[in-house]
Structure 1
Amino acid sequence: MPDATGPYPPGTPCWVDLMVPDQQAALDFYRDLFGWQAEVGPPETGGYAVCTMDGKPVAGIMAAMNPDGSRPDPVPPPVWTTYLATADVDATESAVTSGGGQVQMPGMDVQQLGRMAIVSDPTGAVFGLWQGRDFRGAGVVNEPGAIIWNELNTSDPETATSFYANALGIQAAPMEGGEGYFSLSAGGRMVGGMQNLAGIEVPPGTPSHWLTYFSVDDTDSTVDALVRAGGNVLKPPFDMMAGRMAVLQDPQGGVFAVINQTGPAAS
């Protein structure tokens, strides 16, 4: 069901956002690629832009900046961040550190919208925590232009399995038909996937990371549109058990995947 109307169970990917050097350029690019509507937000939110489809929030885009509002030097590389839902950011932070992870940005309130933190797991994969209040997270999923899958690519699946189970209650299990691929479940529902970095084609030195997948009607035409707009193709369209997918890079360097789903995915 594409509309997400209730609260996200703890451990469920509930939001993604992109930090880039040129926010307006990113807003224009993703508007043209996915049909998102957005504009630079107010100063009190650091200009954070909530992108929408049919009036429902789908993802965030923000300019790279320090907590005090200044521009970082050097500017960090663009990255899509996956946020996992939690009922208590501060308690989850403690579980992250006790499990061998690190806190990159301590818990902070975002007006009355919720409370967030940025952390990393013991294998180095960075992700966000979101404790929703007035804002639960994505209002639409699993339809073209929206999030459809979040995947942990890790250097150590065994360590990651133990960490996410203890910190967020996420359970990993081998996925039927997916050699070396694991499903991630929260509250008894499949919410994402996990695989070993060593088993996939990535540039040498690629760190553990969460990869965001967006649903599309036509993978090949989306890739063509991205190339025309100045993006890069990291993995050309190919067919796999869940559908036809590709791994892409926007013109500023943000990496994401697209998929025309024809097989199993998170519900």
Structure 2
Amino acid sequence: MTEAPELTGPNGTGYGRHAPGAPCRVSLMVHGLAATQEFYGALFGWEFRPGPRQPGPYVRAMLDGREVADIGQLPPGRRLPVAWTPYLASDDVDLTAAAVRSCGGTVGVGPLDAADAGRMAVAVDPSGAVFGLWQATGPLREGAAGVPGAPARHELITRDAAVVARFYRSVFGYEQRPHVSADFDCVSLLLDGRPVAEIRGMGRVLPRDRGSHWITYFAVPDVDAAAERLTALGGRVARRPHDTPLGRAAAATDPEGALFGLVDAGL
């Protein structure tokens, strides 16, 4: 399991003020907002609260009154890829965006203000993986963590873990813990000695249809049961439930094709 160190605010993954570089929120932009709410509401028990209507329809996913994710609707006619995007905390999004560019990445959106909640940008690392930057400026809002339905783990799938890890270390100052063997290429990214994300190198077997990409794992009480349920709801199992060094996990896509993971809630 990855952890998100916070400087102030509530426990775990949420929208309080996190240490720079810590995953602090996840978002999804979709074509069918109502159908997406129905799918994730049935799968994870999320309820939804309307968010600001700028730049378009937008909702906050909630668990027991605490925020777990943001879901927005893409503009009509924009046939963009649908994907979950993790946001990494920053004390100054403008400076972090400049660091992304100077280290070989690109900034595709922003930096810009997100209503009165914060300042954000969407970036792409040198391997092509999309991630967000988030600077909280509004009142601290409690986020869910350590419970079924909440984000529990963030993993970057790429070709060469060490190469991409250098970019993230340069931008965010992560400590790194490599795990390399004949058949396993992985680098843990740490803040204050605690893991916040993993980078997994797949070499030539990296899926060409997705390329390098981040995947957010959501905690569930039973991975096998959740995989069956999401199939019945119109999703697809991309990688069947399997045992990992961190517990049982699976990968799946929602009805619009957004990739996400399932992981044991006990991790």
Return the match for 1:221 from 218, 225, 230. 225
* Matching residue of 2:17: 7
Q: Verify: 1:180 aligned to 2:185, yes or no.
A: yes
- Across the aligned residues of Structure 1 and Structure 2, the Cα RMSD in angstroms comes to 2.3
Give the 5 Å matches for 1:149-164.
Answer: 149-164=153-168
Find the aligned partners of 1:101 and 1:137 in 2 and give their Cα distance. 30
Return the match for 2:116 from 112, 123, 140. 112
Return the match for 1:233 from 227, 231, 237. 237
Contact kept? 1:243, 1:261, Cα under 8 Å: no
Find the aligned partners of 1:137 and 1:99 in 2 and give their Cα distance. 32
* Matching residue of 2:66: 56
SS in 1 for 2:104: coil
Contact kept? 2:165, 2:187, Cα under 8 Å: no
Report the TM-score when normalising by structure 2. 0.88
Report the TM-score when normalising by structure 1. 0.88
Q: Does the C-alpha gap of structure 1 residues 111 and 57 become closer, same or farther in structure 2, counting only changes over 3 Å?
A: same
Find the aligned partners of 1:232 and 1:138 in 2 and give their Cα distance. 31
SS in 1 for 2:227: helix
The gaps in structure 1 that reach 5 residues or longer are 66-70
SS in 1 for 2:170: helix
* Matching residue of 2:202: 197
* Matching residue of 1:68: none
Return the match for 2:48 from 30, 38, 46. 38
SS in 2 for 1:43: coil
Contact kept? 1:27, 1:39, Cα under 8 Å: no
Which moves more between the two structures, 104-113 or 32-41? 32-41
Contact kept? 2:249, 2:261, Cα under 8 Å: yes
Q: Deviating runs (4+, > 3 A) in structure 1?
A: 1-6, 39-42, 135-138, 175-179, 202-205
Offset at 1:72? 4.0
